[in-house]
């Protein structure tokens, strides 16, 4: 094999992804800076990374965010960010999974990645006996019309950051202070409230569910 062919073959190999637990009650601005820096510095050989965590209470406002969708933030900070979409809430008991993935290297576009993120959540919910769905024109995952997971992405030069938030076992009250994802009176739910009775605390663990999602997202596409 020629040197050029060898280099091309090496570049086509997708390294195994890295899964990182960044902790609980993380500061959003700090994590955002780390995501931007990781994406800026990575190259064609950098493994993809998945960061899972929970945030300290915060409302994040996407690039398309309209101020009128923040109804009454109270003492919760509102932080503008560079992902797509409108306003959402992050807080304790909600799994946030940041997907620092080289989409170009995997040969997939943003729409397909959004679909895979949604499907991974739907598949995990199915393991808890919960039937979930997408809604046309409203990215995310819904159970009986109530939103249980939100998506927001940023892609630079084919490389993605931000990701998904999945309501596991949390205080949902702050969602009433906003129009979630720009949708007035949108009902919001969480896994604890929709899964079968008797689900253990360990089954609802942030780490366990994050690992399930990453396993699904790391599998080769069809």
Asked whether the beta carbons of 217 and 108 are under 8 A apart, the reply is: no
Kindly list the catalytic residues. 181
Residue 24 and residue 57: Cα distance in Å, rounded? 11
Q: 72 φ, ψ to 5°?
A: -160, 85
Beta bridge partners of 153: 162
* Residues tagged in the binding site annotation for substrate: 83-90, 150-152, 163-165
How far is Cα of residue 67 from the mean position of the Cα atoms in its chain?
23
Q: 132 φ, ψ to 5°?
A: -125, 165
Provide the greatest CA pair distance for the chain: 64
* Residues tagged in the binding site annotation: 83-90, 150-152, 163-165
Asked whether the beta carbons of 2 and 52 are under 8 A apart, the reply is: no
Helix, coil or strand: residue 62: coil
Burial group, residue 119, by CB count within 10 angstroms (0-12, 13-18, 19+): middle
Task: Name the DSSP letter for residue 68.
Answer: G
């Amino acid at each position: 094999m020629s040197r050029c062919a060898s280099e091309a073959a090496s570049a086509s190999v997708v390294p195994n992804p890295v899964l990182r637990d960044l902790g609980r009650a993380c500061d959003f601005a700090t994590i955002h800076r780390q995501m931007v820096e990781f994406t800026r510095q990575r190259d064609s050989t950098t493994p993809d990374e998945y960061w899972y965590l929970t945030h300290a209470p915060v409302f994040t406002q996407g690039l398309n965010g309209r101020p009128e969708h923040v109804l009454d933030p109270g003492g919760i900070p509102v932080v503008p960010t560079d992902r797509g979409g409108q306003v959402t809430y992050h807080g304790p008991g909600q799994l946030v999974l940041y997907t620092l993935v080289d989409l170009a290297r995997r040969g997939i576009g943003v729409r397909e990645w959004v679909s895979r993120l949604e499907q991974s959540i739907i598949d995990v919910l199915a393991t808890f006996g919960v039937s979930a769905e997408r809604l046309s024109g409203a990215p995310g995952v819904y159970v009986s019309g109530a939103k249980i997971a939100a998506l927001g992405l940023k892609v630079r030069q084919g490389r993605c950051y931000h990701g998904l938030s999945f309501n596991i076992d949390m205080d949902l009250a702050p969602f009433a202070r906003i129009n979630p994802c720009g949708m007035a009176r949108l009902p919001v739910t969480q896994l604890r409230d929709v899964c079968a009775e008797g689900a253990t605390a360990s089954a609802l663990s942030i780490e366990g569910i994050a690992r399930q999602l990453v396993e699904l997202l790391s599998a080769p596409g069809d």
